[in-house]
Amino acid sequence: MEERTETDVLVVGAGPIGMTAAALLADYGLNVVLAEKEATTSDSPRAISVTDETLRVMAEIGVLDKLVPEMLMDTGARYFGRRGQLMAEVRPGRPRLGQPGKSQFDQPVMESLLLDAVRRRPGIDLRFESEVLSLTDHGSSVEALILRGGAVQRVRSKWVLACDGGRSPIRTRLGIALEGSTQAQQWIVVDIANSQVQTEKFAEFHCNGTRPVVQVPGAKGRRRYEFMLLPGERAEEVTTPEFIAGLVAPYESVEPENIRRAAVYVAHQRIAAEYRRGRVILAGDAAHLMPPFAGQALNAGVRDAANLAWKIAAQVNGAPEALLDTYAAERRPHTADMVRLSHLIGQVVMATNPLAAAARDKLLAASSLVPPLNRWITQMRFLKQPHYTSGCLVPPSRDTSKPAAELVGRALTQPSVRTDDGAESGLDAVLGLGWSRLRFLGADRIEVAPAGADYAHRRTMHVMDTEGAFREVPPGTGLLVRPDRYVAAVFEAGGEAAVLAELAALVPELGRVGSTAAPNL
């Protein structure tokens, strides 16, 4: 007999983005089927850089404590010119979200921890060796035929989230085009274990003009090397242990058993023309592909998952489908920025034309003479953080103070806070699940309350911002914070009801209570 399942969401692909999305969806109370074609998660070290926002999500899922010991935290990068001279040393500025702006991790370790997190959640039905054969969108639900163990299973879900990678079969079946281009230059990527190189918290970009090289350190002796593939070289030749040993020789010796991965890749800079078709939504590499030079691909996918999970949960519980349209409106512009940035950094690193390489070296050297430009480069300010200007938010009024207005559409800063009973934590731990309202009381005091009927059981708390992160925000100002920790609105005294009413058009739960203030318990 054919097996039939009904669920809230079918997530296709149990990579880091699919598992992150599944865990978040389950935490919002939804039932999830997570289908993966392979027999288990990948043991290939692909992505290696994470941002503070990704680590914030990992903390929310409950895997950060075990991930941190396997990471090299708070890293930067050094760029060397064609003569080997240091051109620039860059690293993110002061941490704003409670974690370092950039760190190095090991993807197999992350996937193993996410897999444990998925298995701990009873709302997730995890199915390995399960290939999605077809999807039929019925308007209010989607029916999937899944091949598993030689038998066809039928899964009906309210939504399908395709996290099935850059070659996404689901995107292809839907006929959604990828807009952009493919980089002609190929690279050899080598991951090794037991590296003999002394670990420093800097990736190295050797822009030598002949065969550019990238080195990225990791924790516990892990290290990545990337080498430009030269004309006439073939993938099957350059990935042999002997050839790899020769490439790595200027930096260290490597034995065949310590080569974890050797592959040739082509960098793409492409974005799906549509992020959603009916009740099927694309996320991660299924929605966008970018060169690796800015280390943003996995991070963009985690942002996708965090942006989507609460919106899908809200729609399943009665919000209009228009809320799901804000996903592309918010995420696509920033992803396009990251694709362009990744391509630009690649052009800087890959320059082999002598005139272009010389001009690049002179420009970077001259940047030290212009302090604003130097800070823009050395503090990695070119790595723009998401700033939503449309979507599920209320633009600030002209009368709003600049420090408060600048918070809207951005990820909420996460300082350390202390409760009245002396307990200290990051602000996220106080916010909890769902929508929140923050009111700044002055003298670094913040009132934190639930916003919306679905989480009205949470108690109002008062905390001390021990870092003074919001000190410039005028007392009496309030914020509405979304479940993904982005600020949806700012309001002054007496203005809360108006912004709640405006947001309630997309999130009805915000309109089901008169005031978000709750009694202290």
Q: What percent of the chain has pLDDT over 90?
A: 77
For residue 266, what pLDDT band results from cuts at 50, 70 and 90? confident
CA-nearest of 212, 217, 167 to 187 is 212
More confident site: 440 or 180: 440
Instruction: Average the pLDDT over 241-263 and give the result.
Output: 96
Confidence of residue 513 (pLDDT cuts 50, 70, 90): low
- pLDDT grade for 282, boundaries at 50, 70 and 90: very high
**Distance, CA of 470 to CA of 384 (rounded, Å):** 21
Whether residue 118 contacts residue 40, with contact meaning beta carbons closer than 8 Å, is answered with no
For the chain, percent helix, then strand, then coil, each to nearest 5? 30, 30, 40
Tokens linked to 261: 């991965």
Confidence (pLDDT) at 167: 94
The reported pLDDT for the residue numbered 515 is 43
In the structure encoding, which two tokens stand for residue 39, read together?
Answer: 């027999």
Statement: residue 418 has pLDDT above 70: yes
Q: Is the pLDDT of residue 311 over 50?
A: yes
Helix (H, G, I), strand (E, B) or coil at 443: coil
Task: Give the tens place of pLDDT for each residue, 130-162.
Answer: 999 999 999 999 999 999 999 999 999 999 999
Q: Determine the pLDDT at residue 136.
A: 97
**Number of CB atoms found within 10 A of residue 59's CB:** 20
Give the model confidence (pLDDT) of 99-112 as tens digits: 999 999 999 999 99
Could you give the CA distance from residue 339 to residue 180 in angstroms, rounded to a whole number? 10
Identify the weakest region by mean pLDDT among 152-156, 249-253, 295-299, 505-509: 295-299
Q: For residue range 55-68, what is the model confidence (pLDDT) as tens digits?
A: 999 999 999 999 99
Q: Would you say 16 and 166 are in contact if contact means Cβ atoms under 8 Å apart?
A: no
DSSP string, 379-419: TTTTSPPP--SSSSS-PPPTTS-HHHHTTTTSBPP--EEEE
Q: What is the pLDDT, as a whole number, of residue 361?
A: 86
For residue 52, give Cα distances in angstroms to 58, 98, 100, 368.
10, 7, 5, 27
Looking at the predicted structure, is the pLDDT value of residue 516 above 50?
no
Q: What is the DSSP letter of 314?
A: H
As given in the structure block, the two tokens for residue 17 are: 């983005």
**Two tokens at 381?**
């300010």
Q: What per-residue confidence (pLDDT) applies to 189?
A: 95
Confidence of residue 234 (pLDDT cuts 50, 70, 90): very high
The predicted-structure confidence for 436-467, as pLDDT tens digits, reads as follows 999 999 999 999 999 976 666 778 999 999 99
Whole-model pTM: value is 0.93
Average of per-residue pLDDT across 375-401 = 87
Mean pLDDT across the chain? 92
CA distances in angstroms from 11 to 142, 160, 321, 436, listed in the order given: 12, 6, 18, 27
Cα separation, 177 vs 273, in Å, equals 6
Structure confidence at residue 370 (pLDDT): 78
